[in-house]
């Protein structure tokens, strides 16, 4: 009588791909390769996830003799745990913004809680209406109605969704875009004034490049700077422009004297 034993073991073949080998009478008989997710203890996953806040995932893998995929699965585990246990009650104010995360026009839509508790609530690809609407759909009616303040830029898809989803909230636009739009409107008026002055035979004093006041200095940005950023000479030029406007004709245009 002869007894034959069949032993089975799992042998590491390459990253996250294992080759099952069967031994029959001491002879290895490899079977098909199957992808098996490595088993990581919960403590080890949390350990990697915490360090992932400080290092890149590649540096993590090299420093702790593990793989990039292990770090990824650990961070994914932490994120899924956070989604399952987070409390969205009491959200009073949110902020909406986008970031560019790849070369070209590739953006992510981000939503933050900003009322004392600063935390990231939502990340979605692109910066269109669907990207932001998905956040409000994920909220309950009670949580959505409790949002009283929202801050965003002037991106039209965001403005439209916010007006539809939380119409009662106070919408605050960030001052960077407000000042940019103000300067663009001011520059548009300046260009129209300069063109009209030249057609009327006057020499314009408020030009973007090369325009000068009576002291021979440029006057382009004199009235566009805030008071705290104006130097003494810039303030003097701004005052001169205001005086020129007051002494000009009743048309309301800033005009220089003929021939100057």
Q: Which CATH number covers residue 160? A: 3.30.420.10
101/161 same-domain check: yes
Identify whether 68 is part of a domain. yes
| Mean pLDDT, all residues of the chain | 77
**Does a structural domain hold residue 147?**
yes
Predicted local distance difference test score (pLDDT) of residue 23 = 59
**Mean pLDDT within 26-31:** 59
Is 254 among the domain residues?
no
Residue 100 is encoded by which pair of tokens? Answer: 């560019």
Report yes or no on 222 lying in a domain. Answer: yes
Note if the pTM is more than 0.85: no
What confidence score (pLDDT) does residue 257 get? 41
What is the CB-side half-sphere exposure of residue 230 using CA atoms within 13 A?
16
Select the more confidently predicted residue: 186 or 243.
Answer: 186
Number of domains comprising the chain: 4
Tell me if 152 sits within 8 A of 169, measured CB to CB.
no
Query: 67 vs 217, which has greater pLDDT?
Result: 67
Q: What is the pLDDT of residues 111-145, one digit of tens each?
A: 999 988 888 999 999 999 999 999 999 999 999 99
Buried b (16+ CB within 10 A) or exposed e, 51-62: bbeeeebeebbe
Q: Do residue 32 and residue 46 come from a single domain?
A: no
pLDDT digits (tens, 9 = 90+) for 50-97: 999 999 999 989 999 999 999 999 999 999 998 888 888 889 999 999
What's the rounded Cα separation, in Å, for the pair 171 and 179?
17
The angle subtended at Cα 116 by Cα 113 and Cα 121, nearest 5°, is 15
245: CB partners within 8 A, 6+ apart: 254
Residue 179 located in a structural domain: no
Cα separation of 157 and 163, whole Å? Answer: 10
* Parent domain of 134: 92-173
Angle at which helices 129-138 and 156-165 cross, to 10°:
30
**Does some domain include residue 102?**
yes
- Residue 197 pLDDT grade (very low, low, confident, very high; cuts 50, 70, 90): confident
Same domain, 99 and 152: yes
- Whether the pLDDT of residue 208 is over 60: the answer is no
Q: What is the model's pLDDT at position 88?
A: 87
């Amino acid at each position: 009588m002869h007894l034959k034993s069949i032993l089975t073991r799992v042998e590491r073949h390459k990253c996250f791909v294992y080759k099952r080998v069967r031994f029959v009478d001491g002879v290895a008989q490899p079977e098909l390769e199957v992808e098996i997710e490595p088993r990581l203890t919960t403590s080890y996953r949390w350990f990697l996830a915490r360090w992932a806040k400080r290092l890149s995932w590649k540096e993590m893998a090299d420093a702790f003799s593990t793989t990039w995929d292990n770090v990824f699965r650990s961070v994914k585990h932490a994120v899924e745990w956070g989604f399952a246990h987070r409390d969205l009650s009491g959200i009073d104010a949110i902020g909406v913004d986008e970031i560019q995360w790849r070369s070209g026009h590739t953006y992510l839509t981000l939503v933050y809680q900003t009322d004392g508790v600063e935390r990231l609530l939502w990340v979605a690809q692109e910066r269109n209406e669907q990207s932001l609407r998905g956040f409000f759909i994920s909220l309950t009616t009670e949580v959505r109605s409790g949002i009283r303040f929202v801050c965003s830029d002037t991106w039209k898809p965001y403005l439209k969704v916010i007006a539809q989803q939380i119409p009662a909230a106070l919408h605050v636009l960030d001052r960077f875009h407000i000042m940019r739009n103000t300067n663009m409107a001011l520059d548009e008026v300046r260009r129209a004034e300069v063109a009209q002055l030249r057609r009327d035979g006057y020499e314009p004093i408020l030009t973007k490049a090369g325009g000068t006041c009576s002291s021979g200095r440029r006057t382009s940005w004199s009235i566009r700077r805030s008071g705290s950023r104006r130097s003494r000479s810039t303030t003097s030029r701004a005052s001169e422009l205001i005086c020129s406007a007051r002494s000009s004709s009743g048309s309301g245009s800033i005009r220089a004297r003929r021939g100057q």
